[in-house]
Amino acid sequence: MFKHDFDFDPANEYTEEQLLAIRPPDTPEGFDAFWEETFDRNLKIPVNVERRPVESPDPEKELSQVFFDTWDGYRAGAWLVTPKNRTPSCGFVESHGYSGRDAAEFDPFVSDAAVIFPCAQGFGLSSSEEVPGLAANHVLHCIENRDAYIIRGCVAGIWSAATALLEMYPAIEDRLYFSGSSFGGGLGALALPWDNRFRKGYLKVPTFGHHPHRLKCPSVGSAESVRSYHVEHPEVLDVLRWYDAATAATRIRTPVLGAPALFDPAVPPRGQFAVTNALEGDSEVHILKAGHFEWEGTPEEERRLGEKLEAWFREGGRQ
């Protein structure tokens, strides 16, 4: 599809037709109960929000650092962008990729939204000596233990960020949305089924989809660390089955815009399509030619995706 220097095929040697035919893996017994319990327990945790205004580079927006309590006693951090001298029309929880997050972004899909950018455990404002801040190590943290695996706390962090945002802006409770790409897209797929506070979602090139497929696909992303670990510890699949974004996506009832890529050296397309193929109801899928890869058509592809996103979330606020 593209000229590249990778020693593997970032399309996973699958055609678009084959990718669209991928279905989620078998569901472990008790999957729903595990995640429902995780959500219920996390929702009972007082978030104890602390907001620290900082200088904003945008004269139309206010910028803050926000800190809140979340899963297992973790004190997490996030960036918060809000319209200056205006009441937010809606709210977004926007989760980051596996490169982490060192700053906020100032181009939300809705111009007058309140956008919270939570940092996953171990990254940015949520850094900790106990949790690795490097993707290759982070994705393996406590991977041998279903209950303690780091991804559980990262998913819970999304719910806690939503709680924090709603405590600060309770009027947006009917207009709360989720957006996540790559690592954040996978977390979103795992978070959305259990939290009906979110009215719409966006999952771009989501990771953690269909682990049996992912473990067969070379990559340059965090999945490669898991694939290598699995070679020496095949039993880890018994844990990963509980953290499969494709399995979780079959439970999503919130309308979601999925954007999988046909070619992606960092997140195996097989897994991405397993997630977006599982979306039902009013959800939509916008297929990208490439993810995590710059090519001559990238600007135009991103422009079209941006238009799609504006239309998808337009009902969330005044443009």
The pLDDT tens digits along the chain (319 residues) read 788 999 999 999 999 999 999 999 999 999 999 999 999 999 999 999 999 999 999 999 999 999 999 999 999 999 999 999 999 999 999 999 999 999 998 877 788 999 999 999 999 999 999 999 999 999 999 999 999 999 999 999 999 999 999 999 999 999 999 999 999 999 999 999 999 999 999 999 999 999 999 999 999 999 999 999 999 999 999 999 999 999 999 999 999 999 999 999 999 999 999 999 999 999 999 999 999 999 999 999 999 999 999 999 985 433 3
Radius of gyration of the chain (CA): 18
Give pTM, 2 decimals: 0.96
| Contact in structure between 257 and 284 (CB atoms under 8 Å) | yes
- Side-chain-side CA neighbours of residue 30 (13 Å): 8
Burial class (CB in 10 A: 0-12, 13-18, 19+), 196: exposed
Return all residues near 248 (Cβ < 8 A) that are at least 6 apart. Answer: 35, 189, 190, 192, 193
Task: State the CB neighbour count (10 A cutoff) for residue 76.
Answer: 27
CA of residue 67 relative to chain centroid, distance = 19
AA letter at 134:
L
C-alpha closest to that of 102 among 129, 131, 79: 79
Pairing of strands 50-54, 114-118: unpaired
Q: In the prediction, which pLDDT does 301 show?
A: 97
Q: Which domains does the chain have, with CATH numbers?
A: 16-316 (3.40.50.1820)
Question: Helix, strand, coil % (nearest 5) of the chain?
Answer: 40, 15, 45
Tell me which amino acid residue 138 is.
H
The pLDDT of residue 314 is 81
pLDDT at position 315 is: 57
Alpha-carbon separation of residue 36 from 64, 89, 153, 189, 204 (angstroms): 31, 29, 14, 14, 24
Q: Are 58 and 45 in contact (CB under 8 A)?
A: no
> What does the alpha-carbon distance between residue 23 and residue 274 come to, in Å, rounded to a whole number?
6
pLDDT of residue 319: 32
